[in-house]
């Protein structure tokens, strides 16, 4: 199955992103790959490891109620939402990625916690 490449504009730059998912014995391994539209090989890659539901799949991809630590508000989190992808683009740009280099962030859940989410319910 071919993965869908989606486009997003952040600032005045055009980016593309792809979300991949692999299941392994109750564990969901999700990756978010982001690049500038014209430099598709210079990716900013985020890896996530969560539990997997045999019926609904990965909580990151189907919408999952996550609590914001600062406010206690519950937000329906989905990695497919453009506003979420925008946060990851900004995080990459603030942490060593410039669009012309490759960088990998291996703990996406830790980054989500830096965004203010309670990620404990996502851990396998």
- Cβ within 8 Å of residue 72, ≥6 positions away: none
Domain boundaries, the chain: 6-122
Q: Quick check: 78 and 60 in contact, CB under 8 A?
A: yes
The string of pLDDT tens digits covering residues 109-119 is 999 999 999 99
Query: Taking residues 34-44, what's their average pLDDT?
Result: 94
How far does Cα 21 stand from its chain's mean position? 11
Q: Name the percent of the chain lying above pLDDT 90.
A: 85
The string of pLDDT tens digits covering residues 48-57 is 999 998 888 8
**pTM of the full structure:** 0.93
Residue 14 has pLDDT above 80, yes or no: yes
For residue 33, the SS3 value is strand
Measured CA to CA, the distance from residue 54 to residue 86 in angstroms comes to 29
Q: Quick check: 29 and 48 in contact, CB under 8 A?
A: yes
């Amino acid at each position: 199955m071919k993965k869908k490449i989606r486009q997003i504009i952040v600032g005045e730059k055009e980016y593309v992103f792809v979300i991949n998912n692999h299941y392994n014995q109750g564990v969901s391994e999700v990756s978010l790959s982001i690049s500038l539209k014209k430099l598709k090989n210079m990716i900013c890659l985020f890896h996530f490891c969560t539990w997997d539901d045999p019926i609904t799949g990965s909580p990151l991809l189907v919408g999952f109620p996550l609590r914001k630590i600062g406010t206690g508000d519950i937000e329906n989190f989905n990695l497919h939402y453009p506003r979420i992808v925008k946060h990851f683009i900004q995080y990459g740009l603030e942490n060593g990625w410039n669009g012309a280099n490759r960088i990998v962030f291996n703990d996406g859940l830790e980054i989500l916690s830096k965004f203010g989410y309670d990620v404990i319910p996502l851990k396998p």
